[in-house]
Amino acid sequence: GAVVSQHPSRVICKSGTSVKIECRSLDFQATTMFWYRQFPKQSLMLMATSNEGSKATYEQGVEKDKFLINHASLTLSTLTVTSAHPEDSSFYICSAKGGESHYEQYFGPGTRLTVT
Amino acid sequence: GQNIDQPTEMTATEGAIVQINCTYQTSGFNGLFWYQQHAGEAPTFLSYNVLDGLEEKGRFSSFLSRSKGYSYLLLKELQMKDSASYLCVLMDSNYQLIWGAGTKLIIKP
């Protein structure tokens, strides 16, 4: 089956610094990638949708200047949390969709971000 | 708008059967998913229903009634490893996923 990787799996950073999270589709071309955030004991919240070669579409309430998304190739999307604050501490999950199927979405293992 | 309701938490016994219900309201519908999520991990796909009826896959079955806005996930022969959150997820008319809050299932020996 399709595999999506994320790196790093865990990261601790200081308040005010920036953190980059990578999401890669290992054995298929991902035309669309999604970034989710999940706070403890809550469901996944879609942050943004990115299509290769175009600007990401952000959900309402998500600051595009704070959460920079780059989908430069069909196998790689990055999420950069700029000027991180403790309230940005969360579990960030990416997923990727390839081809014409609307419902085949493959999830990465997630990245646990802790901002101190 | 869209809304998804599922119980916050359920408890069941190892070896037994449990049914997790999900009701939803939506103006557009392109299917309903169930995902399993263990603590600290990403969700994993369990099932997809777009037509009414029961889909069986091993120990897990999923049912959908579009007219009632209702689905359930049935887990048989429960194992301790089934302790997880189960997420009811709606796909709307724009093929976007709307996630329920999840049902935390606790399995007791």
For residue range A33-76, list pLDDT tens digits in order.
999 998 887 888 999 999 888 889 999 999 999 999 998 888 99
**Which residue(s) pair with B89 in the sheet?**
B33, B99
**Whose CA is closest to A70, among A94, A106, A103, A104?**
A94
Chain A residues inside the 8 Å CB shell of B91: 102-103
Residues A81 and A112 sit within 8 Å (Cβ to Cβ)? no
Q: Give the residue on B whose Cα is nearest the Cα of A3.
A: B44
**Interchain CB distance below 8 Å, A43 and B31:** no
Other C-beta atoms lying within 10 Å of the C-beta of residue A20: 14
CB contact under 8 A, B95 and A109: no
- Res A100 pLDDT > 80: no
Write the DSSP assignment of B17-34 as a string of letters.
-EEEEEEEE-SS-S-EEE
Q: By the CB < 8 Å criterion, does B3 face chain A?
A: no
Residue in this structure with the two tokens 């399993």, named with its chain if needed: B36
Q: Identify the band that residue A2 occupies on the pLDDT scale cut at 50, 70 and 90.
A: confident
Residue B32 has pLDDT above 80, yes or no: yes
Whether the per-residue pLDDT at A25 is higher than 70: the answer is yes
CB contact under 8 A, A46 and B91: no
- Partner A, chain B 23-52, Cβ-Cβ below 8 Å: 30-31, 33, 40-44, 48
Cα separation of the two ends of chain B: 41
Q: Count each helix (H run) and each strand (E run) in chain A, helices first.
A: 0, 11
- Separation CA A76–CA A98 (nearest Å): 12
Q: What angle do CA A67, A73, A74 make, to 5 degrees?
A: 110
Please give the average per-residue pLDDT across A81-97, as a whole number. Answer: 94
Q: Which value, in Å, is the radius of gyration of the alpha carbons in chain B?
A: 13
Q: What angle do CA B107, B16, B78 make, to 5 degrees?
A: 55
Instruction: Evaluate if residue A103 carries a pLDDT over 70.
Output: no
How far, in Å, CA of B75 to CA of B58, rounded?
Answer: 9
Shortest Cα distance, chain B CAs vs residue A77, angstroms: 17
Task: Answer whether residue A102 shows pLDDT above 70.
Answer: no
The model's confidence at residue B45, banded by pLDDT at 50, 70 and 90, is: confident
* Local structure of residue A59 (DSSP, 8 states): P
Q: What is the pLDDT of residues B49-107, one digit of tens each?
A: 999 999 998 999 999 999 999 999 999 999 999 999 999 999 888 777 888 989 999 99
Determine the average pLDDT of the residues in A94-108: 78
Peptide bond into A40 cis (omega under 30): no
Give me the residue from A44, A108, A110 closest to B99, CB to CB. A44
Closest C-alpha to B75, from B16, B30, B31: B16
